Amino acid sequence: MPIDKIVDEQSLQQLADDQLTEVWKHATPEHPALRRVHDKLNDSEGAAAAITSYDRMHHRHSRS
Amino acid sequence: MLEQSPPLITSFLVKIASRCNLACDYCYMYEHADQSWRSQPTIMSKKTVGLLAQRIAEYVEKTGMEKLLLVFHGGEPLLAGSERIVDATIEIRDRVRPGTTVDAAVQTNGTLLKDSDLRLFQIHGIGVSISIDGPAVANDLHRLDHKSKSSFPATFNAIRLLRGFPKVYSGLICVIDPSVPPQRLLDFFCELEPPNLDFLLPDATHVTPPPGRDTHPTLYKDWLLTLFDLWFDHYPHMRIRTFDNLLEAIAGLPGTTDSFGLGDVSLLTIETDGTYHDLDILKITKHGATSLGMDLEQNSIFDVASSEALDVHRELLSLVGLSLECRRCPVVSICGGGCVPHRYSETGFGNPTVYCSEMLALIQHAKQRVKDTLTITPSPKSAELVLDCDEVSCFDDHVFNKDLLHRLYYAESTHQRQRLRSVIAALGAKGNTEARALVDELAEAHEHRQLEVSVQPSIVFWISLSEQYFTGGIPKTIDGDPICKQDEYVSTIREWVKNGIPSGIRINRQDEMLRLPFGHTIVFEQGEFARKCEVIVREAFDLIGDWNPDLIKEMRWLSPEIQLIHDTTAHPNKAVSFSDNAVPHCLYISLRQDGGLLNAYDVADSLIHEHRHQRLYLLQASVPLITVDAPFVHSPWRAEPRPPSGLLHAVYVFCGLLQWWIHISHSTEGEVQSNARHEVGIIVSKLNEAFPTLQKTSLTAAGTSLVSALRQSYEKVT
């Protein structure tokens, strides 16, 4: 279910655990601790820990 | 018993020393039921270390694991000396098969830690975590030496030394005492800026309950809730592992400690005599509780992992191994029954943790705080800019599309200005006087100056770096080394706000913010060689200007920084240029090839190439072009499969380069012309292959519109 639907239909207070996870995943938390979990849920913890990585330089351009 | 494959042991707690120079009254090793330390050798011998290295090497070979962790523990591990710890690490790293990452860390009370030890640990990549219970008054409640003298001055001095070695500083561990006000602890630890902080409950069981709770049943609950609220409201940038893990468990993420969530056995203890033991804290339950009856000489690690003794512990970490009360509990998926040793009673481990009421209250409270704090807000950038498909289709134009690009650039710089404002306000609030001044100066500057400064590549990187520190992160280079805080960069930003951005395209400007993310892997050209390269880059810009003056204008503001680099990992016959969205609007250009330098035409190709990436990044920041960036697809430019977004970038870039090389093939003669024709041939053949693949990926309506426009333009010129 799209995230806005979930929030439209129920208040955050009534969310089931799995729905809370979905909301958390799609929220844009400014709270640093909630943000860390948000990043981890979106599997970007690695990117946050390493501000850049060799893999992320995905537009490397070789001339040979 | 569970019918499954043995657990994967990824962490090895190496008891390099079995004695301690302190006599902390709560220590699970010396002050609880198990007294087996008395018969252990004081230091692990070199022979035992050799056997351990051999066993770990065998295990790595058998399991194919790629990464493991060694934790040097005691007693006090530094009683064995830092050289022995380093030697053991080296021996194990040398013995495991190549490509295996062996992380190593020391858990110490710090009293013996010297500057020379830290230098050694830094050289060998060994982390240090220190145990300290707070300021002197708190620490001295329990952490005294054998003569009942305070350990605080020596430990505190060790932390002071350790902070000078950010690569080595792993964290701090504090055992809580509810007589110490939580605020006092948080103030104390906040000053020490630990990369990680652990608050541990005093080890207790149903046989030996938590001290003080018999007379004050809510003692620990009240204390924990107060600590949580203070942290959540005032110190959330601090990474307190206990609370971070709690929030992760509430979010449904798998547990990474044995305090929250269900899991599996992944740690093995090796005592100084070379015997294998289970989780060290089980020593609080009964004498010999950790013994697995096996040793390095006789048994492989795989034998231990497959043993029935470890299976018993394993079951306790699964739902079926929990007490009926736990299995019926609404928060069992978060709590996981709590720390196994804390479940112990005379009848065994079939009980909720002795801290059950505290855990339940903390989980429910934390969950409520999360719900009260989480809000759904639309992304600021997508709210500011709406483009229709026709407009997006114009984005294929290789000419200066001033209006569209300006709108995208305005949205991007407005977003970056907001981030910059937040970061300097936060720095100012922490007492940085330059940041406070900058808050006012930025607000007073002309709107154009505010936006222009905010979107500069070096400043965008600095904002990201600072944001990571505020959220408790430790930014790292691509080599994995931590990047220190760069608060002093505020003075450079102030100068730019006051005097404006240096005009024109800036080639190889000395600015650490453009270089820090890339560690030692990317070398930035210097001196006379850099000056030679710069001449060729300027020639390349002249060639681009002769072909398309509007493109040069566009590059001046959209790609204002050029860094001249050399990729140390690249094959010598390849000049590897790149773009990285961590430093947007900066082009990283390499000119070295086969011991010589690229000519101006090829450098122009690299500049246009990387600039096209920047152009597309800008569009993507406001307009989604791909719905699902999967599955990976074949790209004619790469051996390995690429995400659809990677193929889209390649097609976008090469459509632009095709026009460049067609122009060169028409306007030159001889070898240059022949090379240009060759480039055209290659690009055409690859685009012929790429377009049909790209059009089958999950493009949005805007993405489809852009790709159709690119294809139409492509078909016109070919």
Complex prediction ipTM: 0.71
Residue B47: the pLDDT is 96
Question: How many Cα atoms occupy the beta-carbon half-sphere of B108 within 13 Å?
Answer: 31
Distance CA B177, CA B457 (A): 48
Task: For residue range B199-235, list pLDDT tens digits in order.
Answer: 999 989 999 999 999 999 999 999 999 999 999 999 9
B296 by DSSP, 3-state: which?
coil
Distance CA B457, CA B265 (A): 46
Alpha carbon of B144: minimum distance to chain A alpha carbons (Å): 34
Contact (CB, 8 A) for B41 and B16: no
- CB contact (8 A) between residue B571 and residue A54: no
pLDDT band at B392 (very low <50, low <70, confident <90, very high): low
Question: What is the crossing angle of helices B600-622 and B402-429, to 10°?
Answer: 70
CA dihedral B32, B34, B35, B36 (to 10 degrees): -150
pLDDT band at B4 (very low <50, low <70, confident <90, very high): low
Measuring CA to CA, which residue among B109, B128, B92, B80 is closest to residue B12?
A: B92
- Which fold does the domain B11-320 belong to in CATH? TIM Barrel (3.20.20)
Of residues A20, A51, A60, nearest to B483 (C-beta): A51
Measuring CA to CA, which residue among B529, B604, B596, B601 is closest to residue B564?
A: B529
Partners of B483 on chain A (C-beta within 8 Å) are 51
Alpha carbon of A64: minimum distance to chain B alpha carbons (Å): 5
- Indicate which of B67, B468, B478, B615 best probes the interface with A, i.e. most A CBs within 10 Å of its own CB: B478
Task: For residue range B669-712, list pLDDT tens digits in order.
Answer: 999 999 999 999 999 999 999 999 999 998 888 889 899 989 98
Partners of B598 on chain A (C-beta within 8 Å) are 63
Task: For residue range B73-127, list pLDDT tens digits in order.
Answer: 988 999 999 999 999 999 999 999 988 999 999 999 999 999 999 999 999 999 9
B455-488 core/surface letters (b: 16 or more CB in 10 A; e: else): bbbbbbbbbbbbbbbbbbbbbbbbeebebeebbe
Residue A56: the pLDDT is 46
The domains of chain B are located at: 11-320, 380-421+518-623
- Indicate which of A8, A18, A31, A63 best probes the interface with B, i.e. most B CBs within 10 Å of its own CB: A63
Distance CA B193, CA B164 (A): 12
B412 by DSSP, 3-state: which?
helix
pTM: 0.66
Structure tokens at A46: 């690695």
Task: Determine the number of helices (DSSP H) and then strands (DSSP E) in chain A.
Answer: 4, 1
Distance CA B247, CA A36 (A): 10
Partners of B476 on chain A (C-beta within 8 Å) are 49-51
Cis, peptide link before residue B643, omega less than 30° from 0: no
- CB contact (8 A) between residue A4 and residue B376: yes
What are the phi and psi torsion angles at B440 (to 5°)?
-70, -45
- Indicate which of B376, B536, B563, B590 best probes the interface with A, i.e. most A CBs within 10 Å of its own CB: B376
Measuring CA to CA, which residue among B530, B565, B701, B572 is closest to residue B627?
A: B701
Task: For residue range B254-291, list pLDDT tens digits in order.
Answer: 776 666 767 788 889 999 999 999 887 788 787 877 88
Contact (CB, 8 A) for B602 and A63: yes
Task: For residue range B404-455, list pLDDT tens digits in order.
Answer: 788 888 888 998 999 999 999 999 988 999 999 999 999 999 999 999 999 9
What are the phi and psi torsion angles at B252 (to 5°)?
90, 10
pLDDT band at A16 (very low <50, low <70, confident <90, very high): low
Residue B676: the pLDDT is 96
Task: For residue range B20-60, list pLDDT tens digits in order.
Answer: 999 998 887 777 767 777 788 999 999 999 999 999 999 99
Is the pLDDT confidence value at B630 over 90?
no
B389 by DSSP, 3-state: which?
helix
Distance CA B256, CA B633 (A): 34
Partners of A56 on chain B (C-beta within 8 Å) are 580-582
What are the phi and psi torsion angles at B142 (to 5°)?
-135, -30
What are the phi and psi torsion angles at B500 (to 5°)?
90, 170
Cis, peptide link before residue B646, omega less than 30° from 0: no
